[in-house]
Structure 1
Amino acid sequence: MLRLRRYRYYVFFAAVVVLLLYHASQNSEQWESVSASIPYKPLSKSPPERGFGATDKQSQQPLPDKSSTGWADRDSDPTRQGRVKADEDTNEVKIPSLKPTTSEDVLNKFDPSIETSTTDAGKNRVTVYDKEGAAKTTTVPLIDIPDKNVGQGAKGKGIHGKPGMQKSKPEAESTKHWKKFPEHFPVPEDEIIPLPTGKPKPIPAVQYDFDKESPDVREKRLERLAKVKAEMVRGWNGYMTYARGHDELSPVSKKFRDPFCGWAATLVDALDTLWIMGMKEEFEEALLEVEKIDFTTSEYRSEIPVFETTIRYLGGLIAAYDVSGGRAGGYGILLEKALELAEILMGVFDTPNRMPILYYNWRPAFVSLPKRAQGASVAELGSLAMEFTRLAQITKENKYYDAVARITDAFYEWEERGTAIPGIFPEHIDASGCNRTAEAIVAAQEAEQEEQRQIELQKSGSDVSSSKPIGTNDSQSKSGKDEFHGLERRSQVGTPNDDGTKSVKIVTNGEEIYAPSEKAGIPKSDKNDRSESSAVSRGRSSNSEEPKKKHKCIPQGLTTGSFYSNQQYSMGGSQDSTYEYFPKQWLLLGGLEPKYKTLHTNAVAAVKKWLLYRPMVPDDRDILFSAKINTQGNPETDASTEWEVTHLTCFLGGMFGLGGKIFEVPEDVEIGKKLTDGCVWAYESTPSGIMPEGATVVPCAEANNCHWNETLYWQWLDPLHETHDEEVRKFDAEQKERKSNKLQKTDQPTMKGHSNLGSGTEETASSKGESADVGIHKRAPPSPIRSSIDQSEGTRDTTSSDRSQVPLQSEDDSEAPEPVRPWSSKEYAEKRIQSDNLPPGFVSANYHSYILRPEAIESVWYMYRITGDSTWQEKGWNMFKAIVSQTRTEVGNSAIDNVLLENPVKTDEMESFWLAETLKYFYLLYSDPNLISLDEWVLNTEAHPFKRPV
């Protein structure tokens, strides 16, 4: 018995061990199941054919949906269980050694004459383009190796080319992809706005009828053409070597940047430039990279910048498709990728009023939620028209045109209602479609009515708690009152509604709106008008059961961004390209949509009346610039003008010239010349030979009678010129009086040792001198040299501490310190010119960088093609030489920090538009005029040519 008790413990522990072994075997099976659920790419098989809209990454794994929560869901998927075959040992799969190859090596190894399979797609498909441009496909082994950053990324520079920022992602982390959901606010099929139909209208010729050039002229032109192309070749090779597949090259450090979504912005943006310059091999190599782009995901941004993505990516793909021959060219991948991107971007228009979301959160959790457009700039909202219109023309899909035609209609309707400056629009726009002011006024009125009713009920002794209308609360009423306390408003009771309630008439900003009261409920037409709730803005699902605040939208069209803010009107940044698109869209539609001509005509009239001015310059050059107007809504009485000179506004010369030709307004062509020559003057005026981003000048009182006035120029440089000149006059008078007192004092006998105890005149003069000195230092402009000394040695307050430390004077020292003479207006102006490095005629140049912008050479090119005047080629060549000399690096060209210096610092940034626009315009300036003729092509704001209808 004792022996049995002794061994029962061993039996117990043996049972436990057996049980543990059993569970271990079960866990091993589960682990094998989990391992089988990891995407595995066998060497002998290819993924299934990729359908439209799918991408390389999508062909490997399904897009995440709402039900996917990570590994738990993947393990529960029965289709993933037991995926590893019994005769396969995954632990023995080895990756073969691979010799690094370039895209050129791949192209050279494949013989286009060999028949290849076209049934497989995805990551194992490599597109090979032969000399004739026919696309062929072939299958290569699919090898599961980690992604590598080509160029500097492969050298351990990280996702932005910086040390210590290696891109790494846990193997178990699934990549999020955009997913298409049913629209919340679809346009009924019978309400889709179709493309205008019919034969294009006769349009006057735009280009000059060039004569045959002489051999000397041709030789000179071709020499310049080759030098421009050489810059393109160096920049392109630098990008492909150090930034392939990334957005931008950092040309000084030889790294890369991804300021957009990491979709190879420079590569896509430059596709049509490669074709136009005859770089066909580079073009075909680039297409291999284009096919790899996955527009459904991004590792760099959670939001798609819609404006930039549309003009650079979508415009770049469509233009490359057009210039390479369209369908006949054989480069269908360009249209395929354009459609892939367009389908994603169409989601931005899914709002109640169909105005776009301009920063689109592409993640499925946000795409699935209803949204409403918010604030926008004129350029962001109005510069989508050409790209979607051209895509609609190519695909015959009216939905793309409908999306942007509604924006044009909204601008057209707003113009008919009227803006502060008729014909143009304020920079900031409210695109929500809801009158926030009217909503708040209605809420405040309802709150007042409710408060009055509560008072009456209390007086009558009724039950107050049960009398509050459904859908309101005290906080809502209070906030509505407080927010608009003191706001001038008028309302009156309108006619009864169908349900017996009455409307409220609101007069705000000169506009009458009839809004339903709270009792009237939401009109039937608003039943689909769902704005994004506060829960959505915090990232919660729209299915959340938390009560949501009910918002009532009082419909309105486009309007100013803020009721109380200052309105700005200009042709510069955030506004420019919308006006540029009015005449270009008219051309693209063959003159069949008259709204664009009306919008252009009215905009040009407004620019002539309000914005155009002639600057006062030393050589009396007859040039023009466009100003900026600030107004509170009544420019006739409250407008203030900024006489700006901005690089972005330089597109205006080309716009006036193009519009003047197609609408037969010769005066506009002449204005275009003067606007373009203004930007040329700005280039010629700086030490670097390059125009600054932003500056100001002195306007002429009369455009036809303007002469250089140096005194007037000094006064503009010194806004306090009257005060400064008065101080000088006062100082001179005091000095004269002081000298007179000195003479009188020397004629009178004085006691030795008491010379500093005079009548008080000298003490007063001394104190005045000290005071003047203090004031002068406060008004003096900051000098670079003095600032560096102050920073190294420190500064002292002479008005306080120094007064308590006045050194003792000897008995023989009877002279008071000489006061410092203040600066005159002229001296102040000269000091400003010196300290700010201002070129002659410039009042300020606070934005003195240059980021390789194209707008100035763009207008020079338009002027040459329109007028045939070869002097524009000479002006353009001087610009080219200056830009290249200041921006060239070993592998590209870099933005610079200060064009006011002879040797500015390079900032290590090369925007994609350097290859896409700036070098393209320089090249076309010296090419045969028939290359991208303005009578056959129309260019978007990123210089991407679209084929005009015939």
Structure 2
Amino acid sequence: MRLPSILTLLGLCSYALAGVTVQKPGLAVPAKYKSNRDAAEKIFVTSYNAYKEFAFGHDELLPISKSFEDDLGGWGASIVDAMSTMLVMGLDDLFNEALNFSSQIDFNTIPAGGTVSVFETTIRFVGGLLSSYELSGEQHPILVQKAKQVADKLAFSYVGDNVINFGHIDFSDNTPDIAVTNIAEAGTLSLEWFTLSKFTGNATYGDLTSKAVEHIANLATPLPGLAPQLIDPTSGQFADAYITWGGGSDSYFEYLLKYARLTNTNNNIFIDTWKTAVDSSIKNLLKTSTVGNHAYLADRDDQGLIRHIGSHLACFLAGNWLLGGHLLKNQTIINIALELNDGCWNTYAGTATGIGPEDFAFISSDGNFTGGDAITADQLAFYNQHGYYITSSDYIQRPEVLESNFYAWRTTGDTKYLDRAAAAIASFNKFLPPPDGVAFACLNDVNDPAAGFIDLMESFWFAEVLKYLYLTFDDPGHISLDDYVFNTECHPLKAPPALNSYAGSGTLIPQKPFTPHPVGGPRPAISPI
């Protein structure tokens, strides 16, 4: 490999010290749990075989109508998303078939509707192709070539000297959709594009994406380290003041930490911003329910009011904080992360299906304001029993609760996390197969199995849910958290040996005066790398 020269090219520190460890040393899965690994693999194979029969070459299977949809470019998203899981599971025949397909994708083909998401395409296609290249022993350079082909198209989302990319791009003429984007769309490309730089020798990919993250991190924020959700690529300024670890913001915060680990960069802005964001969240957003004393992380709206809401998407943060707590050797972050993980699992434990809802809310000592509808009598009764109540009842095959559960197992060795993952597998097998369809569908209401199904099997069902479940029961030395960094689509990327410390500068970022700017306003000066 060409790592030393590439790391020098990208301005990263290439020295290795005795590294900090994340996983619990000597961890092993007790024999009585090992059948669950095979159960997760069986769900994967059953799902993929149904996809092959009714939707092969298309983005996602519609398991009830036994058809397909193409809303992710039409390039076979489920195939590329599934490839790294096939390699993790040792499903060589399926991988070879998927390799043959992916090697023939033409990303210059105009997708249905023309416009694609830069974020969604990056995490699935660029991430999936490069992860598969690494996991297959770097034997198939066509995977790097295809990742480069699609990234070269996506790079048109960076217009002129704008450091923030536009969120969507029309592949028919390479023009971006000129609209406000969010920090997740702008700040969740760095792992994949850095890895592309590593394998192509072209630093431009990594530079484009890391500069965007640095720009966001250097702007004034409503609370220290906590960037608001919306950002205008034209001006490079925030367009609102809403703070959340949920959708639209989530993976920006996730990648601050993971970029620092994947690159071992000596640029402190990534770790310092992540650490400051966590500190601000503990001080301002961490709440406990008045029933059950469950820990949740609230949102903060444009008016500075605390909204007592949570989401399945936001439940990734417990795993992210566990990773960061160990890298920073900060036991306070670890302890709070485990409490937040328990709070998110509580949303699974409280439903009739044993599966958590898309969105929920809670009552804390500082109130029950959610910014939405008032709590109903039925919701209050549910809250009084479970310590949260459901505000969006669907389950669209989200992985985040099981993702954090995986991190909790790998870092603590507490078998209660194995019990939880086993319970999720049982619930999926019981409640997700549609009686008149194939494979596994989404649910309308996790607390009412009779409410029926949503006719969709997400591509990330293959990439995330089933990989996290499989790895929970697999040999912990396989795809160790000390050897790999997962992108937000759960594609493992090989990490260099860990440093002895990821403490950054050792200081928190101070508060700066903050005012959101109107869309299209003047562009501020950008701090150089």
In the other structure, the counterpart of 2:298 is 627
Q: 1:424 aligns with which of 214, 218, 226?
A: 226
1:398 to 203, 209, 223: 203
2:194 aligned partner, one-letter code = T
Q: How does 1:156-305 map to 2 (within 5 A)?
A: 194-211=10-27, 217-218=30-31, 220-305=32-117
Q: Write the distance in 2 (CA, Å) between the matches of 1:874 and 1:832.
A: 28
Match of 2:431?
886
Rounded to whole Å, the distance in 2 between the matches of 1:843 and 1:676 is 14
Checking the alignment, whether the CA contact within 8 Å between 1:612 and 1:626 is kept in structure 2 is yes
Q: Among residues 134, 137, 146, which one is paired with 1:325 in the alignment?
A: 137
- In 1, distance between residues paired with 2:243 and 2:336? 19
Could you say which residue in structure 2 is the equivalent of 1:683? 348
Contact kept in structure 2, 1:429 and 1:559, CA below 8 Å: yes
Alpha-carbon shift at residue 354 of structure 1 (Å): 3.1
Q: Deviations for 1:509-554, whole angstroms, at most 9, x for unmatched residues?
A: xxxxxxxxxxxxxxxxxxxxxxxxxxxxxxxxxxxxxxxxxxxxxx
1:647 corresponds to = 312
Match of 1:602 among 276, 283, 302: 276
Aligned to 1:575: 249
Partner amino acid for 2:413? G
Q: 1:691 to 1:354 in 2, by over 3 A?
A: same
**For 2:266 and 2:238, how far apart are their aligned partners in 1?**
30
Contact 2:180 2:232 in 1 (8 A): yes
Q: Structure 1 residues 419, 904: CA separation in 2 closer, same or farther (over 3 Å shift)? A: same
Q: 4+ residue runs of structure 1 moved beyond 3 angstroms?
A: 200-203, 371-374, 717-720, 831-834, 841-844
Match of 2:164 among 355, 365, 372: 355
Q: Distance in 2 between matches of 1:379 and 1:832?
A: 31
Q: Does 1:911 align with 2:458?
A: yes
Identify which of 649, 654, 657 aligns with 2:322: 657
Residue aligning to 2:418: 873
Q: How is 1:731-880 mapped onto 2 (pairs within 5 angstroms)? A: 829=377, 840-841=385-386, 844-880=389-425
Map of 1:31 onto structure 2: none
Say which of 381, 389, 405 aligns to 2:186.
381
Letter in 2 for 1:356: N
Cα distance per residue 1:217-246 (max 9 Å; x no partner): 32x232111111100000010111110000
Does structure 1 conserve the Cα–Cα contact (< 8 Å) formed by 2:163 and 2:233? no
Aligned partner of residue 394 in structure 1, secondary structure: helix
Deviates more, 1:889-898 or 1:661-670: 889-898
**CA apart distance, 1:559:** 2.3
The 5 A counterparts of 1:330-729 are 330-364=139-173, 367=175, 374-414=179-219, 418-433=220-235, 558-561=236-239, 567-617=241-291, 620=292, 622-632=293-303, 639-700=304-365
Select which of 472, 475, 478 maps to 1:928: 475
Match of 1:728 in 2: none
The one-letter amino acid of 2:428's match is I
Deviations 1:807-835 (A, max 9, x none): xxxxxxxxxxxxxxxxxxxxxx3x6657x
Change beyond 3 A, Cα 1:718–1:616 = farther
Q: Is the 8 A contact 1:378 1:427 kept in 2?
A: yes
Q: 1: CA distance between counterparts of 2:45 and 2:374? A: 49
Equivalent-residue separation in structure 2 for 1:686 and 1:610 (angstroms): 29
1:899 to 446, 459, 466: 446
> What amino acid maps onto 1:198 in structure 2?
S
Q: Indicate the larger mover: 608-617 or 588-597.
A: 588-597
Are residues 198 and 292 of structure 1, via their aligned partners in 2, closer, same or farther at CA, if it must alter by over 3 Å? closer
Task: Say if 1:409 and 1:299 are closer, same or farther in 2 by CA, change over 3 A.
Answer: closer
Aligned counterparts of 1:841 and 1:643: Cα–Cα separation in 2: 15
Is contact 2:362–2:383 with CA below 8 Å preserved after alignment? no
Superposed CA offset, 1:650-707 (max 9, x none): 0010011000000110111111111111111110111121111111111145xxxxxx
User: Equivalents in 2 of 1:940, 1:332: separation in Å?
Assistant: 20
Q: What is the percent sequence identity of the aligned residues?
A: 31
Amino acid at match of 2:181: A
Tell me, what secondary structure is at the counterpart of 1:355? coil
Residue identity matched to 2:402 = I
* SS class of match (1:654): helix
Q: Label 1:602 to 1:907 Cα distance change in 2 as closer, same or farther (>3 A).
A: same
Is the CA contact (8 Å cut-off) linking 1:611 and 1:627 kept in structure 2? yes
Name the SS of the counterpart of 2:451 in structure 1.
coil
Question: Residues 886 and 904 of structure 1 are in contact (CA less than 8 Å); yes or no, is this contact kept in structure 2?
Answer: no
833 and 601 in structure 1: CA distance in 2 versus 1, 3 angstrom threshold: closer
C-alpha RMSD of the superposition: 2.4
* Runs (5+) with no aligned partner, structure 1: 1-191, 434-557, 633-638, 702-711, 721-780, 782-828
Q: What's the CA shift for 1:624?
A: 1.3
Measured against aligned partners, the alpha-carbon deviations of 1:836-889 in whole angstroms (never above 9, x if no partner) come to x77824664231100010000000000100111111101121122123311124
Q: TM-score, normalised by structure 1?
A: 0.49
Unaligned runs of 5+ in 2: 1-7, 498-529
Task: Confirm or deny: 8 A CA contact 2:81 2:125 kept in the other structure.
Answer: yes
> Cα offset for 1:584?
0.6
- The SS at the match of 1:420 is coil
User: C-alpha distance in 2, partners of 1:395/1:877?
Assistant: 41
Indicate conservation of the 8 Å contact 2:217/2:227, yes or no. Answer: no
Contact 1:352–1:372 under 8 Å retained in 2:
no
- Equivalent pairs counted in the alignment come to 486
Matched residue SS, 2:242: strand
TM-score, normalized by length of structure 2?
Answer: 0.87
d(CA) in 2 for partners of 1:649, 1:197: 32
**1:939 and 2:493 correspond:** no
Greater relative contact order, per chain length (Cα 8 Å cut-off, separation 6+)? 2
CA 332–284 in structure 1, closer or farther in 2 if over 3 Å, else same: same
- Deviation digits for residues 34-74 of structure 1 (CA, Å, limit 9, x no counterpart): xxxxxxxxxxxxxxxxxxxxxxxxxxxxxxxxxxxxxxxxx
The one-letter code matched in structure 1 to 2:156 is: G
- Cα distance, 1:345–1:209 mapped onto 2, change above 3 Å: same
Larger radius of gyration between Structure 1 and Structure 2: 1
State the distance in 2 between where 1:289 and 1:922 align: 26
CA distance in structure 2 between the partners assigned to 1:355 and 1:923 by the alignment: 36
